[in-house]
């Protein structure tokens, strides 16, 4: 099985990535970093894509919303997709604005029939303008969105079904939501349509406290190493999925030496292989 | 009222400290004054207050970081432009 492992492209990591391309199968570029970039900076991306497969990741579309997605932002994605020809592009199941107010980051929308319908409509618009459907990603949230009608795996499965999209499963987002809102991440995984999982994100985070000493939540900050619990979830993903996966490690700051990130990718390769081996063993036992 | 109005209400209390303080002092009253449905008012009455506090802080930090990065980009662009002029002259 040709699982692939790669890193998120960040300017601070570019030298390390370029000197270790032999250890990377894929690089993920943040689309929004290039929306208003000079032409030379954008022209560097097709050059990068000749050296390593590139995928594109958006962060500001706000697809999971009852509000129609901003056409201009979709056109920005379309221009980049046209210039880079990435293997695929992806976005989050989040809302990022409301009533003319920009939230400034990914917010988890209320999990309702309205946001399922809104996401499906926005994804149809995305396909019409960009030319292809994105993979859609589960988001981490510090607040349990008010007004939920569905639990998260049901809501995601409904959007995948309504839109025809595949899933970019962020395992640190899943881990953070599981510890913040006290649910079993393995039961969550079991309820996702495993055949739709195409890509996996890995990252780290830290605990933050509220006003009360006992109130704490895990923040998905992409500034820390991948915790053990996320590798355990990757093993479980390997047990459940049959298609080749693309696994991307995201790091947005507090950059360690590149070797430390490559070591985490090695751990990820090992974890996914453990899951693959377990699945093969189960199948052999069933066949025997 | 629509789902879009509910999202707009959430966006406001996530990013506007004054609106958030008024909301936390009287969640049902603020939701009713915004014209939200009874179900939405109940949902907001039972809002995850710890989560709201932490999410609002996190969003504010993200905004501050974005503004800081934008400022650095503008400064760098102007510095490069000045350098270019000096090299050409």
Q: Where are the beta strands (DSSP E) in A108-257?
A: 135-137, 167-170, 197-202, 206-209, 216-219, 246-249
User: Residue A277 is encoded by which pair of tokens?
Assistant: 């081996």
In three-state secondary structure terms, A35 is coil
What is the rounded distance in angstroms from the CA atom of residue B69 to the CA atom of residue B64? 9
Instruction: Note down pLDDT in tens along chain A; length 288 residues.
Output: 799 999 999 999 999 999 999 999 999 999 999 998 888 888 899 999 999 999 999 999 999 999 999 999 999 999 999 999 999 999 999 999 999 999 999 999 999 999 999 999 999 999 999 999 999 999 999 999 999 999 999 999 999 999 999 999 999 999 999 999 999 999 999 999 999 999 999 999 999 998 776 789 999 999 999 999 999 999 999 999 999 999 999 999 999 999 999 999 999 999 999 999 999 999 999 998
The domain locations on chain A are 4-287
What is the C-alpha to C-alpha distance for residues B19 and B6, in angstroms, rounded to an integer? 14
- Fold exhibited by the domain A4-287: TIM Barrel (3.20.20)
Size of interface A-B (CB pairs under 8 A): 107
**B2: chain A residues, CB-CB within 8 Å:** 66, 114
User: Phi first, then psi: what are they for A36, rounded to 5°?
Assistant: -120, 30
**pLDDT value of residue B73:** 59
d(CA A205, CA A173) in angstroms, rounded, equals 9
The tokens describing B67, both together, are 């503004």
Question: What is the pTM (predicted TM-score) of this model?
Answer: 0.93
CB proximity A100 to B under 8 Å: yes
Q: What is the ipTM of this complex?
A: 0.92
Return d(Cα A50, Cα A85) in angstroms, integer.
10
Using a CB-CB cut-off of 8 Å, the residues of chain A touching B20 are none
Cα gap A287→B13, rounded to integer Å: 56
Chain A residues near residue B76 by CB distance under 8 angstroms: none
Closest Cα in chain A to B49: A143
pLDDT at B66: 73
- Cα nearest neighbour of A147 on chain B: B43
Residue numbers in chain B where pLDDT is lower than 70:
1, 67-89
Chain B positions with Cβ closer than 8 Å to A? 2-12, 14-16, 39-40, 43-44, 46-48, 50-55, 57-59, 62-63, 66
DSSP H or E run through A188: helix A185-191
B12 and A142 in contact by Cβ < 8 A?
no
Q: How far apart are CA A123 and CA A129, in angstroms?
A: 10
* Domains of chain B, residue spans: 1-47, 58-89
């Amino acid at each position: 099985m040709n699982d692939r492992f790669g890193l998120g492209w960040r300017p601070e990591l570019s030298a390390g990535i370029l000197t270790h391309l032999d250890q990377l199968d894929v690089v993920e570029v943040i689309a929004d970093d290039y929306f208003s970039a000079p032409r030379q900076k954008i022209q560097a991306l097709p050059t990068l894509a000749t050296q390593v497969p590139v995928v594109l990741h958006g962060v500001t579309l706000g697809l999971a919303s009852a509000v129609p997605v901003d056409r201009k932002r979709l056109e920005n994605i379309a221009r980049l997709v046209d210039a880079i020809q990435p293997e695929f592009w992806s976005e989050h199941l989040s809302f990022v604005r409301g009533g003319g107010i920009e939230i400034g980051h990914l917010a988890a929308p209320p999990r309702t029939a309205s946001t399922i319908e809104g996401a499906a409509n926005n994804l149809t618009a995305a396909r019409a303008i960009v030319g292809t459907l994105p993979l859609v990603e589960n988001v981490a949230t510090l607040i349990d969105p008010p007004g939920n009608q569905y639990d998260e795996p049901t809501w995601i499965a409904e959007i995948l079904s309504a839109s025809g999209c595949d899933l970019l499963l962020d395992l640190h987002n899943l881990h953070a939501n599981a510890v913040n809102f006290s649910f079993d991440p393995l039961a969550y995984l079991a309820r996702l349509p495993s055949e739709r999982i195409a890509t996996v994100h890995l990252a780290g985070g830290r605990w933050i406290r509220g006003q009360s000493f006992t109130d704490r939540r895990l923040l998905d900050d992409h500034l820390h190493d991948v915790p053990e619990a996320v590798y355990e979830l990757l093993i479980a993903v390997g047990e459940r999925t049959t298609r080749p996966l693309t696994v991307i490690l995201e790091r947005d700051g507090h950059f360690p030496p590149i070797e430390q990130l490559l070591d985490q990718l090695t751990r990820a390769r090992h974890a996914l292989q453990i899951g693959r081996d377990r699945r093969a063993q189960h199948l052999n036992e069933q066949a025997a | 009222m629509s789902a879009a109005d509910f999202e707009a209400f959430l966006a406001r209390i996530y990013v506007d400290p004054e609106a958030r303080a008024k909301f936390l002092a009287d969640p049902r009253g603020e939701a009713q004054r915004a014209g939200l449905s009874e179900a939405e008012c109940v949902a907001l009455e039972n809002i995850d207050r710890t989560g709201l506090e932490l999410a609002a802080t996190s969003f504010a930090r993200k905004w501050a970081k974005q503004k800081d990065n934008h400022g650095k980009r503008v400064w760098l662009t102007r510095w490069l432009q000045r350098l270019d002029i000096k090299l050409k002259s």
